[in-house]
Amino acid sequence: MPVNNISSKEWLRKPRILCGLMTGTSLDGVDTAIVKFHTDKNGKHKFSLIAKETYSLPGEINILMNKILSEQSSISDASSLNFILSEIYADCINKLCNSSAFSINDIDAVGMHGQTVWHNPFKSLIGKYRVASTLQLGSVSALSQIINKTVVGDFRSADIALGGLGAPLVPIFDYEFLSDEKESRIILNIGGIANITLLPKNCRKEKVIAFDTGPGNVLINFAANKYFDIKYDKNGNIARSGKRISEFFNFLSRIPFMTKQPPKSTGRELFNHELIAPYLSKYNKYPENILRTLTDFTSWSIAENIRLYAEPKSIIIASGGGTENIFLLEQLKKELGGTKILMSDNFVIPTDAKEAICFAYLAYRTLGGMTSNLPSVTGASHEAKLGVIAFP
């Protein structure tokens, strides 16, 4: 039954089932999750995961996306992709329901992140206008009509409009479901970029800090692909067989971003091929050494940020594709001495479904009339209800 313009109070009164959809900038697939949320009598949110799956994006979408991200594209391509993505997302929801034998009728609403095609949280001069902006494709309105469900999307614009970075948005989820009264925790996500949410024990929402630590998979995957023609270094085995190149490692560890005070965020505009090209050509005789160095640097950069900015004696709860790199995690453990590293699976959050669950949760909050951005994290002037809502 689609939820039809009920009040936010009424929305929170009953358990609700949401489908979350996440497509990252790496275009590696659509993460989907069906999640049941409810608000207990103390106002505390609870969730249980019903189903999750990652669906690959059709190759044509990659081509169209790359066309749009280049300067060669027209606005009609963007408009078309906006609607095509809604069709694809609808297909994913249907597939997930079919494969998990879950009735689509029981879904109350959808939280759709959409595909980021532009994200610039810093005011730049466009003519006489100083403007920051973000743009996710995937039409909220079209998806709502196609699947006949309430859909919430465009989660980042409100925070940007309030002067924030528009990211990260996951910290409210970390705070609600992973913070603890007696234990300081670091929530680590290793995607293309790695980021952490710091949750000191018994911390208030206003005190949550979260930021990017530097590369996650991005440099490792790039080198694995370039030298070994593989998508990623499975279990980190190639890196394990190599030796660290000190000169290269030192260069990387001295990048000012690495130890910069948070809040900070980064992306492929810094951690890309150009950054490491001189060292790649110098040391490409032993590519396993390059992989080793990049893996060491990645684990070091996460560890260094934790040493600098996290509460001592915090435990780490890790998620994201990068957690499959066993050697990377081993190196991280070595760097941090006795720090306990748990997988988010231990908290009933599959490492590969966390973001999809999170955007289902953000939709749950918005429909409940709740704010979701954390100004202490994003730098926005105040909290805001994130996203736009379409009713079928």
Which residues sit at the interface with its own copies, rule CB under 8 A? 4-8, 10-11, 58, 60, 63-64, 68-69, 71, 73-84, 86-87, 117-118, 120, 124, 126-129, 131-135, 139-142, 144-146, 154, 157-158, 160-162, 366-369, 384-392
Query: What does the radius of gyration of the chain's CA atoms come to, in whole angstroms?
Result: 21
Q: Compute the least distance from the CB of residue 25 to its own copies, in Å.
A: 13
The full DSSP string for 177-245 is: HH--SS--EEEEEESSEEEEEEE-TT--GGG-EEEEEEESSHHHHHHHHHHH--SS-GGGHHHHHS---
Q: Compute the least distance from the CB of residue 114 to its own copies, in Å.
A: 12
Beta carbon nearer to its own copies, 10 or 180: 10
Using a 10 angstrom Cβ sphere, with 0-12 exposed, 13-18 middle and 19 or more buried, the burial of residue 110 is: buried
Q: How many CB atoms lie within 10 A of CB 330?
A: 16
- Which residues share a beta bridge with 20? 33, 111
Cα 273 to Cα 219: distance, rounded to the nearest angstrom: 8
- In eight-state DSSP terms, residue 307 is H
Beta carbon nearer to its own copies, 355 or 383: 383
Q: What are the two backbone dihedrals, phi and then psi, of residue 311, each rounded to the nearest 5 degrees?
A: -60, 135
Contacts of 375 (CB under 8 A, 6+ apart): 164, 206, 381, 382, 383
Q: Compute the least distance from the CB of residue 169 to its own copies, in Å.
A: 13
Beta carbon nearer to its own copies, 52 or 385: 385
Q: Compute the least distance from the CB of residue 46 to its own copies, in Å.
A: 21
Beta carbon nearer to its own copies, 7 or 56: 7
Q: Compute the least distance from the CB of residue 13 to its own copies, in Å.
A: 12
Q: Compute the least distance from the CB of residue 299 to its own copies, in Å.
A: 34
Cα 250 to Cα 116: distance, rounded to the nearest angstrom: 33
Distances (CA, A) of 354 to 11, 25, 44: 23, 16, 19
Beta carbon nearer to its own copies, 115 or 217: 115
Beta carbon nearer to its own copies, 21 or 187: 21
Cα 182 to Cα 104: distance, rounded to the nearest angstrom: 40
Beta carbon nearer to its own copies, 52 or 156: 156
- CA 392, distance to chain mean position in Å, is 28
Q: Compute the least distance from the CB of residue 361 to its own copies, in Å.
A: 17
